[in-house]
Amino acid sequence: MRRLMMKTSSLAAACTAMLLAGCNLAPVYKAPELPVPDTVSTTAGAPVQASEQALQQAQALQWLQSPQLRELVALALTHNRDLRVAVESIEKARAQYGITRADLLPGITAQAQGNRTRTPADLTSSGRSTISEQYTAQLGFASYELDLWGRIRNLSEASLQQFLQSQDNQRNVQIGLVADVVNAWLTLAADQARLKLAQDTLDSRIKAFELTRRMYELGSTSGLVLAQNQTTVDTARGDVASYTSQVDRDRNTLQLLVGGPVPARLLPASQALMGDANAAALQAVPTPLPSSVLLKRPDVQAAERNLRAMNANIGAARAAMFPTITLTGSLGTGSTELDGLFGNNNQSWSFIPLVKLPIFDGGRNRAAVQVAESNQRIAISQYEKSVQTAFKEVADVLADRAQWGERLSAQTSMVSNTQKAFDLSNARFKAGVDNYLSVLDAQRSLYTAQQTLINLRLSEQLNRVTLWKALGGEEQAASQPS
């Protein structure tokens, strides 16, 4: 009867092991849905939606004056893939820190084992086959290192700094994403303004060409003037085609940054950049600006985190040159009968301390310390370079900012005066006082001046965005619409 029970137990254990062997804890793979329309075209698909958290973050950006831009930024904060990678990198670094932090505590495991062995008759002294059984249950820890010299603590500190560095990197990616979205939106607005200017210019030149052709048919002008007028029409047609494709590319760039199709209501109008309301407000910056403000930039803080991690690695490398003490122990019970496994006087225990002292390693440990020290010096240089770069970026933006008002005023006056010059040249040509070359020259000058004004308005707005980014995404004082 007892043998039958043992065979039944063994069979049940074998069946259970076979069932468990068929388990797979990996998640079932499912191909992600592609975040793009079904066909490749400039027509957007279904618009994406922003999360509530992203909407709150976007509304907190007081320097953004355009409600469209704030909602667009919220969409990017929700769906941009680079930002998602940065967020997951934080979770990865957090888990990695948890792994190294766990090394400070002993790992305790439970173990149960059963063993049945049949010895054939030829191998026994009695000449009869025997079956021996042994069952054990243990609770213990293995290879727990006493952190006498701070090796594990320093490794944990380095991992912590890497985790904090990943958070700073995520902030840096988020600030860069906001700036990229605003810049792409402003660039789209500028190209739409250029396209509108080119279309208006084409319409006016077509009308002028039709008038010149009628004059040519009546014999009041020459074929040279007609051909010259035709070249202005062809030039304007080429500009319209060029800016049309550029506007489509700008929309594609905006969709990539947002992470999905952009609703049409969030796209800028052709006059968005030329109106009185600015998309980005002027940043109020203290004068003089203290350099300590730059230390708040996430890229500078990330460089400092890396320096702290490299410094901790030196301590870990130095600790490897000293003796290490590891402890292995267990407490359990054992028996030759399964039903007597937890009976009296069946307890077992073991305790194995191990001391290791490095005597000769060919200079490996000393070289590891030198590598750690070199990494620290590299990190110091990288940190100093990041501070210098931050200082240079802010100084450049402030240097440009001081002259924007004068440049815009001068260019606006130039457009106005060039328009007057064109009108006078055209009137003189129609009156027969001057030739058509003066009209062509004034026309080109007016078109160039208008394009330059669009470029300056765009550059001035980009300067405001760049300043916000260069200051680490911080508003130094209350922004005032400008």
Instruction: Estimate to the nearest angstrom the gap between the alpha carbon of 127 and the chain centroid.
Output: 76
Summarize pLDDT for 24-79 with one digit per residue, the tens.
677 777 777 666 665 565 555 566 677 888 878 888 888 888 888 888 999 888 88
Kindly report the average pLDDT of the chain as a whole number.
83
Instruction: Estimate to the nearest angstrom the gap between the alpha carbon of 170 and the chain centroid.
Output: 6
pLDDT at residue 9, rounded to an integer = 56
Coil, helix or strand at residue 106: coil
DSSP annotation string for 191-237:
HHHHHHHHHHHHHHHHHHHHHHHHHHHTTSS-HHHHHHHHHHHHHHH
CATH number at residue 242: 1.20.1600.10
Q: Flag whether 218 is in a domain.
A: yes
Q: Flag whether 43 is in a domain.
A: no
Q: Flag whether 369 is in a domain.
A: yes
Q: Flag whether 406 is in a domain.
A: yes
pLDDT at residue 3 tops 70: no
Q: What is the DSSP letter of 126?
A: S
Residue 77 CA to residue 110 CA, distance in Å, equals 46
pLDDT at residue 269, rounded to an integer = 82
pLDDT at residue 13, rounded to an integer = 59
Contact 254/438 with Cβ under 8 angstroms? no
Q: Flag whether 145 is in a domain.
A: no
Contact 387/294 with Cβ under 8 angstroms? yes
Residue 186 CA to residue 468 CA, distance in Å, equals 15
- Categorize the per-residue pLDDT at 310 as very low, low, confident or very high, splitting at 50, 70 and 90: very high
Q: Token digits for 175?
A: 């600030």
Highest-pLDDT range among 8-17, 125-134, 217-226, 376-385: 376-385
Instruction: Estimate to the nearest angstrom the gap between the alpha carbon of 139 and the chain centroid.
Output: 46
Q: Token digits for 309?
A: 């991690």
Q: Flag whether 166 is in a domain.
A: yes
User: Which residues are within 8 A (CB) of 51 and not within 5 positions of it... i.e. 6 or more apart?
Assistant: 74, 77, 78
Residue 210 CA to residue 223 CA, distance in Å, equals 13
pLDDT at residue 286, rounded to an integer = 67
Q: Flag whether 41 is in a domain.
A: no
Contact 449/411 with Cβ under 8 angstroms? yes
Residue 442's domain comprises: 48-79+150-322+364-470
Summarize pLDDT for 230-262 with one digit per residue, the tens.
888 898 899 999 999 999 999 999 988 988 888
Summarize pLDDT for 339-389 with one digit per residue, the tens.
777 777 778 888 888 888 888 888 888 999 999 999 999 999 999 999 999
Q: Token digits for 78?
A: 């929700």
pTM score: 0.80
Coil, helix or strand at residue 328: strand
**Bigger pLDDT: 29 or 202?**
202
Tracing tokens 């202005």 back to the chain, one arrives at: 232
Amino acid 350 reads S
Residue 474 CA to residue 468 CA, distance in Å, equals 7
pLDDT at residue 405 tops 60: yes
pLDDT at residue 7 tops 60: no
pLDDT at residue 370, rounded to an integer = 93
Coil, helix or strand at residue 108: strand
Number of domains in the chain: 1
Q: Flag whether 17 is in a domain.
A: no
Across 83-171, the runs of DSSP E, i.e. the strands, are: 108-119, 130-146
CA distances from 305 to 95, 166, 177, 247, 379 (A): 17, 9, 22, 41, 9
Percentage of the chain exceeding pLDDT 90: 27
Coil, helix or strand at residue 138: strand
Closest C-alpha among 450, 444, 454 to residue 205: 444
pLDDT at residue 284 tops 80: no
